[in-house]
Amino acid sequence: MHRVQKLTPCLWFDDQAEEAAKFYCAIFDHSKIAGITHYGKAGQKIHCRPEGSVMTVSFELDGQSFTGLNGGPVFKFNEAISFQVNCHTQEEVDHFWGRLSAGGPVEAQQCGWLKDKFGVSWQVVPVVLMDMMKDPDTAKSQRAMTAMLQMKKLDIATLQRAFDGES
């Protein structure tokens, strides 16, 4: 019996769900498009979408299930919801930052946050930063926080120097 994930984020797009799913699957390892549904005649007066056009795209990013819905221009993404990408190395930070931010608004980039070209918000976060923030030495954690607040893409070496009191 196939186990169904209890919680699956559903992302509402105007009509770019399939494009977005392909974009995200190309960025994250262990990712795939699991299924696509199409609008039919049923409910056409309500959904107003062309018959045969993509309705939903089920996809997985590194094992996490998502659904993309083409629901029209009624709703837009905002920063109230974001996806956090936990990175172990600067190479990972650079990879995810570069790929996810491509085509997105530069003005939305701050403190490890970015918006992609579809308007979805992401946080590209080095795992070591979370450890720094939890350190019982508040002088260290505050130095790391001050350094982070000056950055767009987070730089692990700079954060570590600030944490260690070397900058």
DSSP string, 25-69: HHHSSS-EEEEEEE--STTHHHH-PPTTSEEEEEEEETTEEEEEE
C-alpha span between 32 and 61 (Å, rounded):
7
Q: What is the pLDDT of residue 158?
A: 98
Q: pTM for the whole thing?
A: 0.92
pLDDT tens digits in sequence order for the chain, 167 residues long: 667 778 999 999 999 999 999 999 999 999 999 999 999 989 888 888 889 999 999 999 999 999 999 999 999 999 999 999 999 999 999 999 999 999 999 999 999 999 999 999 999 999 999 999 999 999 999 999 999 999 999 999 999 999 999 97
| Cα separation of the two ends of the chain | 56
C-alpha span between 37 and 119 (Å, rounded):
23
Half-sphere exposure (Cβ direction) of 154: Cα atoms closer than 13 Å:
32
Task: Report the relative pairing of strands 64-70 and 10-13 from DSSP bridges.
Answer: parallel
C-alpha span between 101 and 118 (Å, rounded):
10
Q: Do the beta carbons of residue 130 and residue 91 sit within 8 Å?
A: no
Q: What is the pLDDT of residue 47?
A: 84
